[in-house]
């Protein structure tokens, strides 16, 4: 049986990459017979490891929670928490800090990338990011984590930390597996060699209005040659757009290739824009409904956090007992 945990940083607007790589799967897993428990977190402590505005931050955290609810995370099936409201996350992270070699963290690609983009943020928190992530997952004895492909190195470190803990203090944590979607790496619309990210104008936010979506897709870069075929190596831009089209429309890549055989990029993009607009419409409608009652959203979070604290305390007590801390 799967015990699921996953999270999103509230740093910027949640975009189609986050949705197709992770959140869409989050929602599907709620109805999977193999699912035993689910916790989805706004990982606000991870969000402060890169530049953020304290005046905006509280709102951004709530916006992320709204996004979770609007895509279909159901509080009757999943716990929806703010990481910083369950203090056991950082407590377990501290314990893991004492068994994690610094060299494991220094070689991680995500760390190197973030450091390159914000050199002033070369602090302990950025380096330690994956240890907190391992604590997020293992705190609930989770064994399955739906994430995009970029998180694979973090899941690997989580398993290394779990193994090391088990070998030092006795069998405690099970191996953790990542769950990937077929769209586990959605690329930027402007630079298809880079993944779609929360910063800049290279992605479509779940909250973008129809005209913004049409404009962004119209301006999306394409590859040389006019053929509309899926070939991620030689035609990364059009393959990325085809993948988005495929997942949101349910049409196979082969059918799409046939449909656009004698059509040009502009016809393809117009159709794709309407597919995206149509797909996001009910999500945006639900978001509006939820945002009209933020007290109810707050209540969902605090109720979930209470239950999460109970689960987390049980794991932490076991960990501490094994270490002679109780
Ligand atoms: P974050 O906030 O960067 O992204 C949230 C989720 O979206 C996925 N994702 C993508 N998938 C496909 N294509 C893309 N272009 C794309 N961009 C982002 C990410 O892989 C992720 O699944 N470290 C995590 C947050 C985290 C976490 C955790 C996740 C903290 N603790 C524990 C799982 C379990 C992160 O920064 O995600």
The DSSP code sequence of 38-64 is EEEEE-HHHHTTS---HHHHHHHHHHH
Give Cβ neighbours of residue 54 (< 8 Å, ≥ 6 apart): none
> What predicted TM-score, i.e. pTM, was given to this entire model?
0.97
SS3 content of the chain, % helix, strand, coil (to 5): 60, 10, 35
The structural domains of the chain, ordered by start, are 2-184+294-323 (3.40.50.620), 210-289 (1.10.240.10)
Residuewise pLDDT in 10s, the chain (326 residues) = 999 999 999 998 999 999 999 999 999 999 999 999 999 999 999 999 988 999 999 999 999 999 999 999 999 999 999 999 999 999 999 999 999 999 999 999 989 988 898 888 889 999 999 999 999 999 999 999 999 999 999 999 999 999 999 999 999 999 999 999 999 999 999 999 999 987 667 899 999 999 999 999 999 999 999 999 999 999 999 999 999 999 999 999 999 999 999 999 999 999 999 999 999 999 999 999 999 999 999 999 999 999 999 999 999 999 999 999 99
Tell me how far CA of residue 315 lies from CA of 34, 38, 82, 114, in angstroms. Answer: 22, 16, 18, 31
198, 216, 235, 269: which is the annotated catalytic residue?
A: 198
Residues 12/198, Cβ–Cβ less than 8 Å: yes
Q: Which residue's CA is the nearest one to ligand 1's atom 14?
A: 17
Q: Which residue's CA is the nearest one to ligand 1's atom 37?
A: 8
Separation of alpha carbons 267 and 248, rounded Å: 17
- State the pairing for strand pair 79-82/144-146: unpaired
Q: In what order do the strands lie in the sheet with 144-146?
A: 79-82, 35-42, 2-8, 144-146, 177-179
Ligand 1 first shell, C-beta below 6 A: 5-9, 17-18, 20-22, 43, 46, 133, 136-137, 145, 147-148, 150-151, 154, 184-186, 195-196
């Amino acid at each position: 049986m799967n015990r699921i945990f996953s999270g999103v940083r509230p740093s910027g607007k949640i975009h189609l990459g986050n949705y197709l790589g992770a959140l869409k799967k989050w929602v599907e897993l709620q109805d999977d017979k193999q699912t035993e428990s689910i916790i989805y977190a706004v990982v606000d402590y991870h969000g402060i490891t890169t530049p953020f505005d304290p005046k905006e931050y509280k709102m951004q955290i709530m916006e992320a929670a709204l996004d979770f609810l609007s895509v279909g995370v159901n509080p009757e099936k999943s716990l929806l928490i703010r990481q910083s409201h369950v203090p056991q996350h950082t407590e377990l992270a501290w314990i893991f800090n004492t068994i994690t070699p610094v060299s494991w963290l220094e070689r991680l690609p995500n760390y190197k990338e973030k450091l390159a983009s914000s050199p002033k943020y070369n602090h302990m928190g950025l380096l330690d990011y994956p240890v907190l992530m391992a604590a997020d997952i293992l705190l609930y004895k989770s064994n399955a984590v739906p994430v995009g492909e970029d998180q694979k190195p973090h899941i690997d470190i989580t398993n290394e930390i779990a193994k090391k803990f088990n070998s030092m203090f006795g069998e405690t944590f099970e191996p953790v597996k990542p769950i990937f979607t077929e769209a586990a790496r959605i690329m930027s619309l402007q630079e298809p060699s880079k993944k779609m990210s929360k910063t800049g104008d290279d992605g479509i936010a779940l909250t973008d209005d129809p005209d913004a979506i049409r404009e962004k897709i119209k301006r999306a870069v394409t590859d040389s040659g006019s053929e509309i075929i899926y070939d991620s190596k030689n035609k990364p831009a059009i393959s990325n757009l085809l993948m988005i089209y495929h997942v949101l429309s349910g049409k196979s890549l082969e059918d799409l290739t046939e449909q656009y055989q004698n059509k040009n990029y502009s016809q393809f993009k117009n159709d794709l824009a309407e597919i995206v607009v149509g797909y996001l419409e009910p999500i945006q409608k639900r978001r509006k409904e939820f945002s009209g009652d933020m007290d109810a959203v707050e209540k969902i979070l605090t109720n979930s956090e209470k239950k999460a604290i109970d689960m987390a305390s049980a794991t932490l007590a076991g960990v501490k007992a094994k270490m002679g801390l109780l």
